[in-house]
């Protein structure tokens, strides 16, 4: 069994601990925004360690849309490379935990539709895309 390695980012580590430690009752929103987040658990592509990342909750039916924005930074968040290497994840949405398969969205029409859903759920995504020259990756997590 792989070992869980907490994030080196204080706020990420603290949010995951609060979210999971409370059974999905506390820490379920992004800091002071009040907007809902999920916890995505995946395997590190280089270390094989278990990683946990809070991401905005963007639903598409039974699926979740995962947006690799990193606030519009020039580089993708590390979890993007992890998901590209291994698409098996767990998604924790409050008290519920789901085994899911992730795929990166390549189809332009599907990506455009999911991007609209993501921006509706978290409007800063639009600003983040304008801030960076990279195309922000969009993934879909589907029930396994």
Q: Is the dihedral of CA 90, 124, 122, 30 positive or negative?
A: positive
What pLDDT is stored for residue 131 in this prediction?
A: 96
- Ranges under pLDDT 70 in the chain: none
pLDDT at position 94 is 97
pLDDT of residue 32: 79
**117: helix, coil or strand?**
helix
**What is the dihedral sign for C-alpha 121, 124, 125, 126?**
positive
pLDDT of amino acid 2: 85
Q: Is the pTM of this model over 0.75?
A: yes
pLDDT of res. 103? 98
Report all structural domains of the chain as residue ranges with CATH numbers, in order of start. Answer: 10-143 (2.30.110.10)
């Amino acid at each position: 069994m792989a070992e869980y390695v907490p994030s080196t980012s204080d706020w990420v580590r603290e949010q995951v601990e609060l979210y999971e430690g409370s059974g999905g009752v506390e820490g379920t929103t992004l800091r002071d925004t009040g907007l809902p987040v999920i916890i995505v658990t995946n395997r590190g592509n280089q270390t094989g360690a278990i990683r946990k990342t809070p991401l905005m909750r963007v639903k598409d039916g039974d699926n979740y849309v995962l947006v690799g924005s990193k606030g519009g930074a020039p580089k993708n968040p590390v979890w993007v490379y992890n998901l590209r290497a291994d698409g098996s994840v767990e998604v924790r949405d409050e008290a519920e935990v789901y085994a899911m398969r992730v795929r990166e969205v390549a189809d332009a029409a599907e990506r455009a539709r999911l991007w609209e859903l993501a921006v509706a759920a978290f409007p800063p995504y639009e600003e983040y895309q304008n801030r960076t020259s990279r195309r922000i990756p969009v993934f879909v997590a589907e029930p396994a």
